[in-house]
Amino acid sequence: MRTIYNIIGVAFFALLACSKVVAADAKTTAEACWSEAIAAYEAKEYDVAVEKFEHIVELGYASGDLYYNLANSYFKLGEQAAEEGLHKFSGGELGRAVLNYHRALRLDPTLEDARYNLELAVDNTNDTEALPESFIVSLWRDMSNSAKSNSWAVSSLVMLGLLLALVIFYLLSNSIMLRRISFFGAIILLVVVIIVVAFALHSKRQAEEDNRAVVICNDTTPVHASPESGSKVIRQPSQGVTVMVSRNHGEWSEIIFADGEKGWIRSAKIENI
């Protein structure tokens, strides 16, 4: 009986050691791929850079910087094709660039370069029917995305602590001037706490409920009125257009454009952010 337990124990520790070796090998491979990808990008070998960055993703690593550099590589690869006399973004590079810019910002909303490059990439799509975003909505989105939900939550707790300290100071102070300062300071801080909590909730809700997808294709792809190939084509978005996915039906997905129009597209033509 002890022999069986000994064999099981040896096998367990052997598997544990193997898993550590595999993890170490994956990390070493990822670091090597990163260096090779950066070198390839600087040498304008964008196809090699894409291959290396994608391999890092396949190894299970993900970060804002990784997706940002992958998006840049795809975008540059599409532009390079045009310089060589081919159709610009003919290989679907624009859609992949937009997709990975979104993924970079989802992991790290503070990447302003990724946000700026995303806007440049979207300018190359035919998403001209999107509703314009008001200044207030744009400002709110930018401010709430300037930090992750956890950071906003921590900030709200710190400010709440300061608010309670001001309230206690107001109740215990004998100076009329200090009581006034504490009172108005508490009111201002209360407003700030409410705003920060709203940012935290908005950021958390966006992370949990975000079901956006990006159209991935070489040119334009048809969007049908119903999940059938023979149904009416109501729209033909280009690669890189961002949509919302409302439901799936077999190999089809119902999508919603920024202007509210709905339609059905083959699921293989889109990829979730």
CATH number where 267 lies: 2.30.30.40
Regarding whether 197 and 146 lie in a shared domain, the answer is: yes
Regarding whether 190 and 111 lie in a shared domain, the answer is: no
Structural domains of the chain, count: 3
Give ∠ CA 95-127-102 in degrees, rounded to 5: 45
Read off φ and ψ for residue 18, nearest 5 degrees: -65, -40
**pLDDT computed for residue 29 by the predictor:** 87
**The one-letter amino acid at 230:** G
Domain assignment present for residue 91? The answer is: yes
* Residue of 189 and 202 predicted with greater confidence: 189
Q: Which of 14-18, 92-96, 269-273 has the lowest mean pLDDT?
A: 14-18
Q: Which of 39-48, 67-76, 103-112, 132-141 has the lowest mean pLDDT?
A: 132-141
pLDDT in tens, 94-116: 999 999 999 999 888 889 999 99
Mean pLDDT for the chain? 82
**135 falls in which pLDDT band (50, 70, 90)?**
low
Regarding whether 267 and 252 lie in a shared domain, the answer is: yes
Domain assignment present for residue 128? The answer is: no
Given a cut of 60, whether residue 269 has pLDDT beyond it is yes
CATH number where 51 lies: 1.25.40.10
Sequential DSSP letters for 171-223: HH---HHHHHHHHHHHHHHHHHHHHHHHHHHHHHHHHHH--EEEE--SSB--E
Domain assignment present for residue 129? The answer is: no
- Domain final residue, candidates 193, 209, 225: 209
Domain assignment present for residue 89? The answer is: yes
User: Nearest Cα to 157, choosing from 204, 196, 207, 203?
Assistant: 196
Given a cut of 70, whether residue 24 has pLDDT beyond it is no
User: Nearest Cα to 239, choosing from 101, 159, 124?
Assistant: 124
**176 falls in which pLDDT band (50, 70, 90)?**
confident
Regarding whether 141 and 105 lie in a shared domain, the answer is: no
Domain assignment present for residue 112? The answer is: yes
High-pLDDT (> 90) share of the chain, %: 42
Domain assignment present for residue 68? The answer is: yes
Given a cut of 60, whether residue 16 has pLDDT beyond it is no
CA distance 153 to 202: 11
Regarding whether 30 and 112 lie in a shared domain, the answer is: yes
Domain assignment present for residue 181? The answer is: yes
- Domain final residue, candidates 188, 209, 230: 209
**The length of the chain, given as a count of residues:** 273
Domain assignment present for residue 127? The answer is: no
Provide the residue range defining the domain that includes 181: 135-209
Regarding whether 115 and 49 lie in a shared domain, the answer is: yes
pTM for this predicted structure: 0.68
CB-based contacts of 89, cutoff 8 Å, min separation 6: 78, 81, 82, 95, 124, 239
CA distance 265 to 253: 5
CA distance 137 to 78: 32
Regarding whether 218 and 198 lie in a shared domain, the answer is: no
Regarding whether 26 and 15 lie in a shared domain, the answer is: yes
